[in-house]
Structure 1
């Protein structure tokens, strides 16, 4: 008798590939509900922070759950987009803004008078100068009064000047302060510095460090920069001009500057900075002047 072979039935496996788009859809819905919830909240600051985080995450390929990376980039975005981060002036009335501008003007004029009085009483008119414009108060200090030629170490007798400036700034500690270093166009010629960039930067740092020894000042409000030879205030054709270009500037930045006036001042400063520098010095002249930096 022939054996009947029973046909074996294999159970078919269900196709589960649909789970992938389904999971993506659920993730997008979750993100949507979170955003909608944030929009319904009265805390607009949280909504702005979350909006920035989502924007960075989706535009840069960073996962939303990678919190540290997202928050770090969001903070960078905020700081670059809001240069006046210490003051929220968006909702101010024109009268309030004008009142703050007037107080700021009085503060900077008073500080300028203090510095000018110190300059006069100590016979430093040839070494220090002050200038108040629509964007900042600038205290200009000749490098010869602070540093030995070709050095970034502040002279011991010049530390008093940095300390006096720091004491004057304590009453205006909420202003941002930028310390900048400048040189002439003669190439530096020693073993410590390879370029005028390095010399100008280090001089600004060394002077700022002495100012910040005053614990009443907030280091978060301070920054430094080295311009090298590229922001001259006089011609480098003469020894007197080169001497004026070698300087350290302490700039107290306005918080409520008039935007239109600031632009005009900035444009004028840029035009001055683009003044053609002196022609190339002769080899002997460069060697002679390198020691005067």
Structure 2
């Protein structure tokens, strides 16, 4: 009599699959269905997902390819650069999108840079006008004109403006200052006139020290600037600095000559040239 060996726990008609695998497979199918339902009920923030993907691709240096990584039906990511323009990725990239303002207000540093550029442009325009009116004096090295975003500075040499040890303006200087007033009358802003000397003590019965001399020279220039009333006197200030602000070391006669000067500084200029 031939004996047969029965397999315990096997599915009839199969060779080796245990009977419990049917229950296990059903359970896995139900779990998979459950998680699919959870995913379908969840709220996916598509824009945030694309923004994260875009940022990570930039950080790792991977070329951005939204068509191969993100569902093309998702809305595009709009990226605002520091200049305020916008770019977009995705199927809407070729459409004319309105410019998107920056999410945050400009920083204080950015605002100060904008103000500095505006001030520099104003001072450049004023300096250009003054250079055009004082070409001869510039050619003769009697005046120097420079500017930056802080203001415009006109520097007149002692040789052009005053006799040695005197605070009386030379006649030559008066029409030159009238030309300066012609341009400053079209501008708002503060005008500071500063007198400077070298470091040698003054020997004069009229002036007690270089402080007296430098202040008196500044006042003489101010008088000429406001003489015809076109400049509001409240805008103008006279300052004597004596030898405390030298351009060069007072170690040679040439340097001392350069240090003896009168400066007209125009700050916060806002001009209306025709």
TM-score by length of 2: 0.55
Q: Which residue of 2 aligns with 1:150?
A: 165
Higher percent of residues as strand: 2
Deviating beyond 3 angstroms after TM superposition, the runs of 4 or more aligned structure 1 residues are 92-104, 121-125
Larger relative contact order (CA 8 Å, sep ≥ 6): 1
Distance (whole Å) between structure 1 residues aligned to residue 163 and residue 266 of structure 2? 26
- 2:124: which partner in 1? 109
Match of 1:198 among 205, 212, 233: 212
- Alpha-carbon distance between aligned partners in 1 of 2:238 and 2:213, rounded to the nearest angstrom: 13
- Note if contact 2:123-2:149 (Cα within 8 Å) is conserved in structure 1: no
CA distance in 2, matches of 1:127, 1:210: 18
Q: Deviations over 1:198-249 (max 9, x none)?
A: 0000000001110111322111111111000110001111111001100000
* CA displacement at 1:133 relative to structure 2: 2.3
From 225, 228, 235, the equivalent of 1:221 is 235
Q: 1:101 offset after TM fit, Å? A: 4.7
Q: What is the number of equivalent residue pairs in this alignment?
A: 164
Q: Aligned Cα RMSD in Å?
A: 2.5
Distance 1:238 1:138 in 2: 25
Alignment map for 1:47-62 (pairs within 5 Å): none
1:254, distance to aligned residue in structure 2 (A): 2.8
Q: Distance in 1 between matches of 2:179 and 2:160?
A: 14
The answer on whether the counterparts of 1:119 and 1:125 sit within 8 Å (CA) in structure 2 is: no
Answer yes or no: is 1:232 the counterpart of 2:232: no
Moved more, 156-165 or 241-250: 156-165
- The answer on whether the counterparts of 1:167 and 1:214 sit within 8 Å (CA) in structure 2 is no
Q: Supply the distance in 2 between the matched residues of 1:208 and 1:93 (Cα, whole angstroms).
A: 40
Q: Which has the higher helix share?
A: 1
Which structure: larger Rg? Answer: 2
Change (3 A) 1:171 1:101: farther
Secondary structure, aligned partner of 1:190: coil
Gaps of 5+ in 1: 1-91, 257-293
Structure 2 unaligned residues grouped into runs of 5+: 1-105
List aligned pairs for 1:6-155, cutoff 5 A.
101-122=116-137, 124-155=139-170
1:233 partner SS? coil
Take 2:256 and 2:197, find their aligned partners in 1: how far apart are those partners?
Answer: 8
